[in-house]
Amino acid sequence: MKIFTVMLQTTAPLIPPDLLLRAYRAGIFPMSDSRDDPEIYWVEPRLRAILPLDGFHCSRSLARTLRRGRFAVTCNTAFDAVIDSCAAPRAGADDSWISQRIRDSYRALHALGHAHSIETWARDESGERQLVGGLYGVGFGRVFCGESMFSRQSDASKVALAWLVAAMRRGNAALLDCQFSTSHLASLGAVEIPQVEYLALLEEALRYPVVSAPPSSSTGASSAGASASSAAAGAVTVLDLPAGFAALLADAADAGDSSSPGNFIAQSLTQTS
């Protein structure tokens, strides 16, 4: 059940990016009543859904899909298309809470580097690459707050989520917020916790700075040395989602799985699933 504890009505065309980030850091987020609603309200659930990064459930069928490389996966290459697809009408679903105002506000947040998307692609009969699934959300500190996902082919959104989890783990992230629990998310490992517990996890996750540095794809020894140096200094090197995604691809290339990074992803997830 959704619990709406704070309300805001405004005719401003955008939710200011600094307001959005302050809200997420306080454990609340905006929604609208419908796709065409110009108003927003702030939400603080009594129960919060999170997906523990070491508790992602990668089923055998999903691992098989990842290994076969059925989908190409990218980060931040089609943010607008992903959020529009998440907001689009769906058969048998209620009207979307992702209004035009919310879409425009998150596009602005994306332009500032604080909102990200993971995209899954497949080839159609003519060989053209088509966007068939994905997700988007807000990233800050060691936290990623997933907003919505969509799928036009079986497993397309699951693959996007698997890559998100793997990239967050690679970047030393700590908290993947799913906001509200669904049976779909629960089947992938999401759990519900009280909001007060979520706020404690959020506070802990925000203690470390983020280093948005692109990884080297061919200097594993240097990366290991840097990690050891950081560990010796008692520091935690934290990458934002795009940098964590790039580091994941670099690791897969170094492991010899460059032809199918999904092999590397599946292996890393099934080791702790």
What is the pLDDT at residue 246? 95
Tell me the Cα Rg of the chain: 18
**Is 2 within a domain?**
no
**Is 24 within a domain?**
no
What is the pLDDT at residue 219? 40
Average pLDDT for runs of 10 along the chain of length 273? 43 84 97 90 96 95 92 97 92 79 97 97 90 97 96 96 97 96 94 98 88 53 42 65 94 76 88 59
What is the pLDDT at residue 95? 72
**Is 255 within a domain?**
yes
| Cβ count within 10 A of residue 244 | 26
Residues 187/41, Cβ–Cβ less than 8 Å: no
Separation between Cα atoms, residue 271 and residue 169, nearest integer Å? 13
How many domains is the chain built from? 1
Separation between Cα atoms, residue 53 and residue 241, nearest integer Å? 14
Residues 190/49, Cβ–Cβ less than 8 Å: yes
What is the pLDDT at residue 209? 72
**Cα atoms in the Cβ-side hemisphere of radius 13 Å centred on 269:** 32
Under DSSP, is residue 165 helix (H, G, I), strand (E, B) or coil? helix
What is the pLDDT at residue 36? 86
**Is 79 within a domain?**
yes
Q: Which DSSP symbol is given to 72? A: E
What is the pLDDT at residue 91? 67
**Is 148 within a domain?**
yes
CA 95 to chain centre: 23
**Is 33 within a domain?**
no
| Cβ count within 10 A of residue 233 | 8
Mean pLDDT, the chain, integer: 86
pLDDT tens profile 161-179: 999 999 999 999 999 999 9
What is the pLDDT at residue 14? 93
The residue range of the domain holding 114 is 49-270
User: Crossing angle, helix 100-111 and helix 79-87, to 10 degrees?
Assistant: 160
Separation between Cα atoms, residue 91 and residue 83, nearest integer Å? 17
> Which residues have C-beta within 8 Å of that of residue 24, sequence separation ≥ 6?
138, 140, 143, 145
**Is 23 within a domain?**
no
**Is 138 within a domain?**
yes
pLDDT tens profile 129-140: 999 999 999 999
CATH classification of the domain holding 248: 3.40.630.70
